[in-house]
Structure 1
Amino acid sequence: MNLSAWTSYRLRLKRKRGHLRAWRKSRELSSVKDCTSQIKPNDILVFCTFRNEDIRLPYFFKYYRDLGVDHFIMVDNESVDGGGVIPPKISGVQK
């Protein structure tokens, strides 16, 4: 792909703005429980961002557990329906 100098510059600037925004927003994240020490080299992970998915979470975990996923890394995007609190009845999920 041969981009013009102007297009290349705009894309580079857009990427730098994205990195700056990610750095600024990273301060808003907090860890509820860090279980990353339990992750082994060959474990299968799912990284998921969700918002207001309280009803779907049990089905989500069951589906991916059945596919062989070992660990979930979940980021709650300010849920207001209780989705940010992982129900203890979901097997294999630590709060």
Structure 2
Amino acid sequence: MSWRSRFFEYRAYRSLLKEYFKGGAKWTAPPKPQMCDELYDQNYPMNSVEDRHRLAAEGRFVTTEFEPCFDAADFMRAGKDIFVQRSQQNMKNFI
């Protein structure tokens, strides 16, 4: 998760996850990001949605390539295929 405000959100679901594990579920987790300032493009314009779409088409996002970070909602599984999109969030949600 790339939102600093949601860094510990998973803790609210801990007991539910433990039930899933008892039922045979598996957990794969990437390292937690440090979420330091280098992760975010500090000059990313907070303008219109259209501007963000244009910037995304140019390969520019609010998050940098400093370290891996993503939201599970950016992924979708269809059979054995996994599709991913890069989040397109407004900068004020990240800092």
- Structure showing greater radius of gyration is 1
Structure with the bigger RCO (C-alpha within 8 Å, sep 6+) is 2
Q: TM-score range by the shorter chain?
A: under 0.3
Which structure has the highest strand share of the two? 1
